């Protein structure tokens, strides 16, 4: 056992990594191509990104498999290589020598009626395939993330649990701030949804993407007081802005870390960054977390 399970249940906060897509774009990923293809075509680049996060202080890195479920891969003619991609991505993360490797599982990109034409049976098969591939490749935990529909998160959680009841599984939903509180775009409310995922067998539950770190402090306070389990948070670095040099996010690493470190200190199981964050943000968080503890 890697010890991650114990750590997530009652150990010190695990520092995750930050954004992957923008790092890969800066290193040659063609806009519009699947980031997961890099695991096959330019594996050294993927490892390099993981190494940067490990050097910045990440305790755990997450595999470059956000879109590596067969439904999403099919759009890039990669569905048949689902297992291979997840296996390779796990090896690449491991090569960076992090303390822990977490298998990343993102949404299918489909929605259930009336919004879309998604089908839970296909979702279930897809998540089972991806989850099993990651578990067999030896990840220390799974992170089902950026889910905007509680039902899809539950399908994914149940599907991966069929491969292992032991492995720690973190599940993060994406919330927006509305007048009445925090909800997913489908209308799933914060505390009720996370509580339900805990009872469905998630080891740790939380929120990632969309919400920037100032809003996240409020979200975290609400979740920490209402959800019966430990939490994970990976917010964005503020909101996206376009500049002459391309897209940037509005927050500086120090600002991000100042918002997020108290969330870690308040007992979160794991924290990290989502869109717009890079190793500088993780390094800033590491400094604050170590300062808080020492």
State the residues that interact with another protein by CB under 8 A: 21-22, 25, 29, 31-35, 72, 75, 109-111, 114-116, 178-180, 183-187, 210, 240-242, 246-247, 275-276
Helix (H), strand (E) counts: the chain? 12, 12
By beta-carbon proximity to another protein, the closer residue of 183 and 224 is: 183
**What are 289's two structure tokens?**
């977390």
* Shortest distance, position 193 Cβ to another protein, whole Å: 12
> What is the distance of C-alpha 215 from the center of its chain?
18
By beta-carbon proximity to another protein, the closer residue of 114 and 294 is: 114
Beta-bridge partner residues of 231: 205
d(CA 280, CA 113): 41
By beta-carbon proximity to another protein, the closer residue of 75 and 162 is: 75
By beta-carbon proximity to another protein, the closer residue of 51 and 74 is: 74
* Shortest distance, position 163 Cβ to another protein, whole Å: 25
By beta-carbon proximity to another protein, the closer residue of 9 and 185 is: 185
Per the CB < 8 A criterion, the answer to whether 110 and 71 are in contact is yes
In the chain, which ranges are continuous DSSP H helix? Answer: 4-10, 21-25, 38-41, 43-56, 70-73, 82-95, 120-136, 150-161, 190-199, 213-226, 253-265, 279-293
* Shortest distance, position 191 Cβ to another protein, whole Å: 16
């Amino acid at each position: 056992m890697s010890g991650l399970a114990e750590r997530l249940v009652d150990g010190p906060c695990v520092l995750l990594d930050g954004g992957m897509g923008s790092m890969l774009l800066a290193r040659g990923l063609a806009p519009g191509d699947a980031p997961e293809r890099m695991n096959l075509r330019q594996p050294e680049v993927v490892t390099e990104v993981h190494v940067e996060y490990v050097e910045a202080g990440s305790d755990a890195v997450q595999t470059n498999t956000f879109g590596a479920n067969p439904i999403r891969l099919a759009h890039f003619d990669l569905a048949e290589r689902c297992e291979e991609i997840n296996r390779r991505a796990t090896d690449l993360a491991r090569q960076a020598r992090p303390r822990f490797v977490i298998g990343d599982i993102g949404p299918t990109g489909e929605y259930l009626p009336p919004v879309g034409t998604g089908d839970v049976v296909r979702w279930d098969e897809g998540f089972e395939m991806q989850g099993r591939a990651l578990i067999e490749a030896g990840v220390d935990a799974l992170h089902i993330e950026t889910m905007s529909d509680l039902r899809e998160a539950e399908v994914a959680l149940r599907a991966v649990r069929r491969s292992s009841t032991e492995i720690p599984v973190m599940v993060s939903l994406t919330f927006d701030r509305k007048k009445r509180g925090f909800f997913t775009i489908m209308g799933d409310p914060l505390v009720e949804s996370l509580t339900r995922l805990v009872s469905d067998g998630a080891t740790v539950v939380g929120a990632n993407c969309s919400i920037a770190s100032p809003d996240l402090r409020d979200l975290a306070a609400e979740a920490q007081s209402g959800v019966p389990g430990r939490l994970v948070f990976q917010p964005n670095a503020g909101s996206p802005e376009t500049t002459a040099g391309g897209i940037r996010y509005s927050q500086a690493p120090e600002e991000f870390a100042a918002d997020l470190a108290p969330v870690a200190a308040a007992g979160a199981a794991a924290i990290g960054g989502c869109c717009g964050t890079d190793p500088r943000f993780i390094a800033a968080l590491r400094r604050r977390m170590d300062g808080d503890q020492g």
